[in-house]
């Protein structure tokens, strides 16, 4: 009698969230490369109708339990026990810590464990942060295998959770070119600008970027700094600070569409990434995809991912940041060289390769 193919459940509750690109691409390519295993894709109710499997071995199940809730710890654990998968892949750290089945966990970075969110109540946030640190350590020990997006995060997790790094596998992520036709932001047409895109969390280091830009305006008075990202309480705080400091030429776009983001990448003088902590640094690779030269922080995973395709600065040194940005703006040979190196650098990364490596991890865990 033929044995039944193993069933793998993938927690895709964040499929369409800002952090969901990883799990969305993973499931996309697993459907192309794996005709053997059966898959259960756990989706939050808002994503259930819109996501449709393209492989007959994939089925979707509603999972209405939010991250960091008692429902996640109790009801999701019960749901998994009822589904009886042979393996569960949690694409993020959040999961039922008492679930006893075979587990693979992707840990993207330790940023949330190290930086505070100024828009949250400090006492509540610190308490939650301590719980989060405990969850990371618990998950790292109980998971059968751990996936990280970089060698930097691999070593960071091993030290933080005090586990053997051989338990951890690096699967590099990737960046896709935006396919939509570029749509200009009319107030920026015919303007010289540098840019950043993303959430304004403390580790993104936007205040120092703005301070460096302010210095830069002494020699580049017509230059604009574009900060692209959905308006939220933290962005409002940054905007108010810019007003209070009377810093000119800082443009807050609010939410931009993919077509508008593509136009920004294609037309900026440079993409600036001042972050203090990144697990992978996807925006810099996206910028390289569209021919933008990247000027980046030299901390954490960023030199590992960008290689020689970025010009690096000390993100704690505003003057160094200003100097490096100015070098790229003033030196066309350097700028053109970074653009060319960026196009070569992105060829090193592939979502399909990431999915193939992940499938091998599943198979190893299932065999043991």
Task: Identify whether 180 is part of a domain.
Answer: no
pLDDT given at position 258: 95
Assign 119 a pLDDT band (cuts: 50, 70, 90): low
Tell whether the model's pLDDT for residue 1 goes beyond 80: no
pLDDT tens by residue, 276-288: 999 999 999 999 9
Task: Identify whether 93 is part of a domain.
Answer: yes
Contact 84, 124 (CB under 8 A): no
* CATH number of the domain residue 52 falls in: 3.40.50.2000
- Which comes out higher in pLDDT, residue 238 or 129? 238
221 and 337 assigned to the same domain: yes
Helix (H/G/I), strand (E/B), else coil: 257: coil
pLDDT tens by residue, 159-170: 999 999 999 999
Task: Identify whether 179 is part of a domain.
Answer: no
What 319-327 contacts at long range (C-beta under 8 Å, 24+ apart), as own/partner pairs, is: 319/212, 319/215, 321/208, 321/209, 321/212, 321/272, 321/274, 322/212, 322/213, 322/215, 322/216, 324/295, 325/194, 325/212, 325/213, 325/216, 325/270, 325/272, 325/295, 326/216, 326/219, 326/220
217 and 241 assigned to the same domain: yes
Q: What are phi and psi of 61, to 5 degrees?
A: -135, 140
pLDDT given at position 253: 97
Pair of tokens at residue 278: 């990144």
pLDDT given at position 3: 59
28 and 103 assigned to the same domain: yes
132 and 195 assigned to the same domain: no
Average pLDDT, the chain: 95
Tell whether the model's pLDDT for residue 58 goes beyond 70: yes
Task: Identify whether 181 is part of a domain.
Answer: no
Pair of tokens at residue 317: 């040194």
Number of domains in the chain: 2
**Overall average pLDDT of the 350-359 stretch:** 98
Q: Which residue range is the domain that position 336 belongs to?
A: 186-348
Distance separating alpha carbons of residues 177 and 190, to the nearest angstrom: 23
Task: Identify whether 220 is part of a domain.
Answer: yes
**Overall average pLDDT of the 144-149 stretch:** 98
240 and 363 assigned to the same domain: no
| pTM assigned to the model | 0.93
233 and 155 assigned to the same domain: no
pLDDT given at position 2: 46
Contact 135, 182 (CB under 8 A): no
120 and 231 assigned to the same domain: no
Task: Identify whether 2 is part of a domain.
Answer: no
Contact 62, 84 (CB under 8 A): no
213 and 335 assigned to the same domain: yes
pLDDT tens by residue, 304-329: 999 999 999 999 999 999 999 999 99
153 and 283 assigned to the same domain: no
Q: Is the dihedral of CA 210, 303, 26, 13 positive or negative?
A: negative
Distance separating alpha carbons of residues 149 and 106, to the nearest angstrom: 8
117 and 140 assigned to the same domain: yes
């Amino acid at each position: 009698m033929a044995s039944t193919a193993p069933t793998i459940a993938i927690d895709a509750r964040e499929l369409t969230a800002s952090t969901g690109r990883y799990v969305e691409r993973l499931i996309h390519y697993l459907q192309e490369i794996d005709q053997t295993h059966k898959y259960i894709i756990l989706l939050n109710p808002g994503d259930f109708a819109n996501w449709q499997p393209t492989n007959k071995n994939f089925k979707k199940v509603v999972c209405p339990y939010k991250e960091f809730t008692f429902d996640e710890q109790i009801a999701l654990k019960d749901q998994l026990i009822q589904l009886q998968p042979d393996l569960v892949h949690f694409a993020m750290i959040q999961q039922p810590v008492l679930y006893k089945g075979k587990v693979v966990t992707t840990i993207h970075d330790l940023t949330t464990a190290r930086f505070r969110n100024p828009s949250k109540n400090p006492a509540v946030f610190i308490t939650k942060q301590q719980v989060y640190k405990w969850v990371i350590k618990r998950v790292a020990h109980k998971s059968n295998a751990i996936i990280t997006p970089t060698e930097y995060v691999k070593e960071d997790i091993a030290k933080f959770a005090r586990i053997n790094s051989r338990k951890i596998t690096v699967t590099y992520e990737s960046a896709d070119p935006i396919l939509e036709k570029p749509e200009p932001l009319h107030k920026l047409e015919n303007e010289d600008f540098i840019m950043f895109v993303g959430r304004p969390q403390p580790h993104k280091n936007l205040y120092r970027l703005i301070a460096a830009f302010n210095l830069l305006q002494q020699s580049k008075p017509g230059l604009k700094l574009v900060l692209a990202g959905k308006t939220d309480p933290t962005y409002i705080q940054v905007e108010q600070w810019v007003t209070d400091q009377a810093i000119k030429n800082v443009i807050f776009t609010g939410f931009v569409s993919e077509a508008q983001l593509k136009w920004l990448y294609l037309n900026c003088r440079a993409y600036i990434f001042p972050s203090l902590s990144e697990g992978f640094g996807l925006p810099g690779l996206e910028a390289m995809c569209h021919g933008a030269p990247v000027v980046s922080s030299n901390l954490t995973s960023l030199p590992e991912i960008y290689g020689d395709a970025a010009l690096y600065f000390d993100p704690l040194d505003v003057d160094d940041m200003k100097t490096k940005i100015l070098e790229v703006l003033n030196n066309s040979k350097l700028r053109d060289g970074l653009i060319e190196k960026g196009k070569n650098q992105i060829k090193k990364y592939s979502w399909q390769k990431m999915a193939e490596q992940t499938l091998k991890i599943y198979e190893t865990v299932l065999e043991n």
